[in-house]
Structure 1
Amino acid sequence: MNHIRFMPASLLAGFALPLVAAPALADFIDDSHAKVELRNHYINRDFRQSNAPQSKAEEWAQGFTVKFESGFTDGPIGVGVDAMGQLGIKLDSSRDRRGTGLLPFGPDSLEPADDYSELGLTAKLRASKSVLRLGTLQPILPVVVYNDTRLLAASFQGGLLTSQEIDGLTFNAGRLTKANLRDSSSRDDIGYGAASSDRFDFGGGTYAFTPQLNLTYYYAKLDQIYRQQFVGLVHTQPLGEGLSLRSDLRYFDSRGDGAERAGRIDNRNFNGMFTLASGAHKVSATFQQMSGDSAFPFLNGGDPYTVNLVTYNTYTRAGLDSWQLRYDYDFVALGIPGLSFMTRYTDGRHARTATVDNGRERERDTDITYVVQSGPLKNVSLRWRNVTFRSGNGLTNSLDENRLIIGYTLALW
């Protein structure tokens, strides 16, 4: 286990800014805040094939994440520091039930770890309406989205500049060099699949023409592996009487770069989601079309920024065309605040792999979530997620899965 020792804001300020006068530290301390996030996660995955390497994967674990974010010192260039400590503890698992993504396991022994932990520090500088962050990063951008679907969240190491100097435009540029995966305490070289790289460079931004319409463009390059362009358009159209239509269109063009260490990359991914909202109801329909000779590439430690990224599957194989129907309901309309329901069905066809020419994948997800509204357990969230995944033409294993997740966030100050 990596032992983590958390420091209060005053000590962090003292270490980070030993030469700054006390009056300049006022905003650094007064604007700071800290919180602890608790996540109890149970996954039971039942494989449906008789020849599957495991009959099931089943693990239960408790996660703790403490986050501290300072304000900025006064002056033309403000200085700040953020810190994040994560700890995962095994509650139940074994070598024959490993592999849910909750816990790391030994490469030789295959025994799940009893615990694992990670500490991340981020320095930040602010000038005018621009902020530079150096260290641990968890970006949510079209070309890099950190994974937060298990016990502990993934993170990256590098630098990120965010600027809003031009009204309506949010610009981001950066470089990532390391990745800390969701079930790991190590910092690995940035990469895709089994291939690694020295750096991942990216830049782009979103311009809001109106509050209802924005356009996004990004360019990214994973050195010697792939380069990628993204264009996205989001539009929300009020239709009157509490009704609205949201259109979210996304296009990626991905090609190989340099030595192409992960093999030939050749993928165009056009996908979109249309959501009709009326009061407590939301109905969504999506499409996702893959063209080119390879799967859609995205960073290890991240998730694809695509509309058909669902609970188990990503629908990013070469040639895979997929669609989804989704329904959401908020029970506040029936006088039960805090209770919500979601169900969706996603179907993909024409997938190509080295051994399959016309594979099919389909998944049904159902979520029921309740957030306690009052009493000593106020803000505790309980979620049950049920998954049925099936594949055809020998593409991959089919499975049934249940996840139970209990979460709570406590503000420390």
Structure 2
Amino acid sequence: MDIKLKPLAAIVLANMALCGVAHADTNENQFKLVLKNAFVERNFDNENIKDPGSWSQGISGFYQSKYIPTVLTVADKPIELGVDASLQYALRLSDDRHIDDTILPFNTNTQTQDRNFFKYGGTFKLKYDNTEFKVGELFLDLPITSVDTSRQLISSYWGGQIKSKVTDQLQLELGRISQVSPRYEEGFHEFSVTKNGVKQYSDGLNYVDLKYDVTPSLKAEYYYGDLEDLYDKHYLGFQYSWKNEYLKSQTHLKYFRSQDSGEAKAGEIDNHNIGLLEKVSVGNHSVGLGYQQIFGDTAYPLPDGFLPELYFINWNTTGFFKKDEKSVHFVYGYDFKDYAPGLNTMVKYVYGSDFKDAQGRDNHESETNFILTYDVQNPKLKGLAFRWLYVNYDIEHGNSFQENRVMTTFTKNF
């Protein structure tokens, strides 16, 4: 998937991104066909827990029309119209393990995993000058509503969105999202949050996002989202970039604030998340060091469907967002372009501490990721890519596991 550069907190998911839905401005109709073979298996150290996983084959199509000018004009500029559409299908190739692996739809009543997985959506879009309006299926890259590409089919949202380039430095986006289609569910559903075994629903998410280029090197972003009847969320982030002929660096500072309105159906929510990340690249090498801390009375809230918070400094397979948790991570990556063009590898280690388990015991956890990616360079095989992610998760009081994700994709643009 075309995912814009994110902090290293999102690198695990971003490196497993395997199909594209990014909607850039274009003067031509575009169609993208994606074939995706996904093998995912998790092995728990506790022998009493069933090991989830599956093997599936997906085929997806994403259509993006060009904008067509209409006879309607404002200040001598035409109003332009277009439509987008998506169709995603996956077939389970492995046997049903009768366990929810968060990859394919699972029926909790019958304890069976669906053999077929189907998603579809359409979008009507309108453009005037530097302002674009969309209604229908949306693929959003924002807090709360990130697009999850780490499994088989991808998540999307249903609602309306306005994006405008107000000035050369300022971009404005606002919208209302009424429903979500999580990574392993069909169709669109209301947002919900489950707390203490009780699921509470929201009528929708209202949000505004501002991106401002303070200088060519310093970028700022502010986001506010109101998940009606559940909680509000504020985000403020800064990114500073610097480079010379030998190296380049990126510094990220991020602050999140989530709080209920006082009468929220999901109960009390009150927390802060602050993170700092420094990334340096020299030649084929890249190194990153990050720190994240959760403050407040609760763990960081996530809507049902385990929608990833890719904006976090430390977002991993497990997510280091427990109440009072402090976590640090180290990342090292190497590009083999001088020896095997298209081959990249990365190792990431995260350690989290200062949180408690359900029984009130002091706890700590760690996760090690190894990622190997190869994009075939032969022109005759253009679009063929291989990804392998190995995860080793260890927790003092809890369920440790090892996980493998092997994905092969072929992408063809028409």
TM over 0.5: yes
Cα offset for 1:297?
A: 2.0
TM-superposed deviation, 1:186: 2.6
1:8-407 correspondence to structure 2 within 5 Å: 31-52=28-49, 54=50, 56-75=51-70, 76-96=78-98, 98-193=99-194, 194-238=199-243, 240-301=244-305, 302-304=307-309, 305-310=311-316, 312-333=317-338, 335-352=339-356, 354-374=358-378, 376-392=380-396, 394=397, 396-407=398-409
Q: Judging changes above 3 Å, is the alpha-carbon distance between structure 1 residues 298 and 169 closer, same or farther for their aligned structure 2 residues? A: farther
When residues 295 and 288 of structure 1 are mapped into structure 2, their CA distance, relative to the original with a 3 A threshold, is same
SS of residue in 2 equivalent to 1:177: strand
**C-alpha distance in 2 between matches for 1:168 and 1:369:** 35
Q: Quick one: which amino acid aligns to residue 49 of structure 1? A: N
Number of paired residues?
Answer: 377
Identify unmatched segments of 5+ residues in structure 1. Answer: 1-27
> How much does 1:357 deviate?
4.3
Report the CA distance between 1:384 and its aligned residue. Answer: 1.3
Output the CA distance in 1 between the equivalents of 2:41 and 2:292. Answer: 29
Question: 1:278–1:158: structure 2 CA closer, same or farther, 3 Å change rule?
Answer: same
Task: For residues 345-382 of structure 1, give each alpha carbon's deviation from its aligned partner in whole angstroms, at most 9, with x where no partner exists.
Answer: 00001224543342212100001111111054333111
Report the Cα distance in structure 1 between the residues aligned to 2:48 and 2:266, rounded to whole angstroms: 29
The 1:30–1:207 alpha-carbon spacing in structure 2 relative to 1, beyond 3 Å, is closer
> Whole-Å Cα distance in 2 between the matches of residues 228 and 58 of structure 1?
33
**Counterpart-to-counterpart distance in 2, 1:84 and 1:137:** 10
Contact 1:72 1:80 in 2 (8 A): yes
Aligned equivalents of 2:210, 2:26: Cα separation in 1: 31
Residue by residue over 1:245-275, the C-alpha shift from the partner in whole angstroms, topping out at 9 and shown as x without a partner, is 2001110111112532222101100012110
Task: Check the 8 A contact 2:144/2:308 in 1, yes or no.
Answer: no
Task: Work out the percentage of aligned pairs sharing the same amino acid.
Answer: 28
CA distance in 1, matches of 2:26, 2:212: 33
1:360 partner SS:
strand
**In structure 1, distance between residues paired with 2:169 and 2:153:** 34
Moved more, 341-350 or 28-37: 28-37
CA shift, 1:299, in A, is 3.4
Q: C-alpha separation between the residues in 2 aligned to 1:352 and 1:103?
A: 31
TM-score, length basis structure 2: 0.87
User: For 1:19-71, what per-residue CA distance to the aligned partner results, in whole angstroms no more than 9, with x for missing partners?
Assistant: xxxxxxxxx9962111111111101110001343x1x1231001121000011
Distance 1:358 1:262 in 2: 26
Of structures 1 and 2, the one scoring higher in RCO (CA 8 A, sep 6+) is 2
Rg larger in 1 or in 2?
Answer: 1
Shift of 1:146: 2.2
User: 1-side partners of 2:53 and 2:345: how far apart?
Assistant: 25
Counterpart code for 2:288: S
- Whether the aligned pair in 1 keeps the contact of 2:252 and 2:278 (CA below 8 Å) is yes
Which stretches in structure 2 are left out of the alignment for 5+ residues?
Answer: 1-24, 71-77
365-374 or 354-363, which deviates more: 354-363
Q: Which amino acid aligns with 1:32?
A: N
- Classify the secondary structure of the residue corresponding to 2:322: coil
Report the more deviating stretch, 138-147 or 336-345.
138-147
Separation in 1, partners of 2:219, 2:60? 33
Structure 2 CA distance for aligned equivalents of residues 202 and 298 of structure 1: 16
SS in 1 for 2:337: helix
Once residues 390 and 60 of structure 1 are traced to their aligned partners in structure 2, the CA distance between those partners, rounded to angstroms, is 25
Cα distance, 1:78 vs structure 2: 0.8
Output the CA distance in 1 between the equivalents of 2:123 and 2:46.
45
In the alignment, the residues of structure 2 paired with residue 375 and residue 67 of structure 1 have an alpha-carbon distance, to the nearest angstrom, of 23
Maintained 8 Å contact 2:279/2:288: yes
TM (norm. structure 1) is 0.88
| Per-residue deviation, residues 207-230 of structure 1 (Å, max 9, x unmatched) | 012221111111111111111111
Instruction: Give how far 1:181 is off.
Output: 1.2
Q: Is the 8 A contact 1:250 1:270 kept in 2?
A: yes
Displacement of 1:91: 0.5
Alpha-carbon distance in 1 for matches of 2:206, 2:278 = 31
Alpha-carbon distance between aligned partners in 1 of 2:235 and 2:95, rounded to the nearest angstrom: 40
Cα displacement (A) at 1:175 = 0.7
Q: How far is the alpha carbon of 1:189 from its aligned partner?
A: 0.6
Aligned counterparts of 2:163 and 2:304: Cα–Cα separation in 1: 23
